[in-house]
Amino acid sequence: MNTKRSILFWLSVTAIALLSIYTKNFTISSSLPRFTTTSIKKVIEKSGNEFLSFIRKIFNYLRTGHWVTCDASKWKSPLIAKYGVTLVLTVDQKGCGKFTTFQKAVDAVPDNAAKPTLIIVDSGTYREKIEIKKTKSNLIVQGQGYQKTFLTWNDTAASSNGTIYSYSVGVFAPKFFAYSISFKNTNPAPPTGVAGKQAVALRIGGDQSAFVDCGFYGYQDTLHADVGRHYFKNCFIEGSVDYIFGNGRSLFENCTLNTVASGPGINGAVAAQQRASLAEKTGFSFVNCKIQGKGLVWLGRAWGVYSTTVFIKTSMTEIVAPEGWNNWKDPSREQKVFFGEHACTGPGANSKSRVKYGKQLSLAEATPYMDISYIDGKQWVPHDIDDI
């Protein structure tokens, strides 16, 4: 129905509802029709989400003085056909979607679904702590651009009883894909050396997660690649200290690693990988990436005894410290870690002053880390994942 007719219709429904409440509590002339809440409920249920959407528009109008005109075209996504999506849920703060919060949309996703569900999120900043439980598998999320759609919260290690719980968004379900959306922890930059200020934007605790054209914003411990296999393509990742960390097996392709470290001397690190034994098939590989920003940082620190981090064909500015790598103040780890570089460029890639346990890899040594085979991607990452 058009806007004017819709307004008249829902104003009528609202009037009936008010009359129903009135007649329930007061005795009026028997000549007037009596409407029950049951009849109102039937009208609302029949109209579905259109009624809730209309109510949201009224509140938005009262707040802003502007009537929202919804653009239904934003809910049409090429991902629907690409992945054979069977259910589309929409999120919009202005009342044009089925939900106004992201978490409510996630809660509506069927448990253990065999077919993908798509959540499309309109532009805006959605301030809510979000948990995607392990039962919400086969979920795809699409924003309107990583500089337009943000999921944010502001917990820290101190406020949430541990770094691993400080995430703004926690993904624990397998087969989670995200497109064109940002994850952000808005807690401000911590003073140097202050404890408890780690603040995670995204924690990934599920297998087979992929992120295309996404953003990740924070300072210390921005992106927690906790467990599982992960793929990042054309993403923007920002932080200061260990801003990509965890024990996942993660491949980063064509990503921008934007450092915002500050303070005297070496004041941050890009990666802190946690591999603890040779039996674990985990590590971080960065291919065709770009390291930029400010500060002076290590490429990686040996969080795990067998920490594994590789940079391949990556452009490095002068913010990369000449020694390149750090042993986590434990010299015994130098014999066990695997820290490597291959065909990297830029002033930060100068290997002359690198620590001895940082390797300059041959092509043969670098090849296992160079493409999606590193994360068994041919089994689960579409070859045209970024073609939308």
* Tokens encoding 383: 């070859």
* Tokens encoding 336: 């066990």
Dihedral of CA 76/82/88/91: which sign?
negative
Angle at CA of residue 107, ends 101 and 109, nearest 5°:
115
Which residues 6+ apart lie within 8 Å of 64 measured at CB? none
Residue 283 CA to residue 339 CA, distance in Å, equals 10
Residue from 155, 207, 242, 384 carrying the catalytic annotation: 242
Q: What is the DSSP letter of 276?
A: -
Q: Judge contact between 171 and 209, C-beta under 8 A.
A: yes
384 as an active site residue: the answer is no
Distance, first Cα to last Cα, the chain: 31
The DSSP line for 215-271 is: EEE-STT-EEE-SSEEEEES-EEEESSS-EEES-EEEEES-EEEEE--SSSS-EEEE
Dihedral of CA 51/57/61/63: which sign?
positive
Nearest to 173 by CA among 226, 104, 218, 128: 226
Q: Judge contact between 153 and 186, C-beta under 8 A.
A: yes
Q: Judge contact between 183 and 216, C-beta under 8 A.
A: yes
Residue type, 198: Q
* Tokens encoding 63: 């707040």
* Tokens encoding 102: 């992201």
Q: Phi, psi (5° rounding) for residue 140?
A: -120, 135
Active site residues: 242
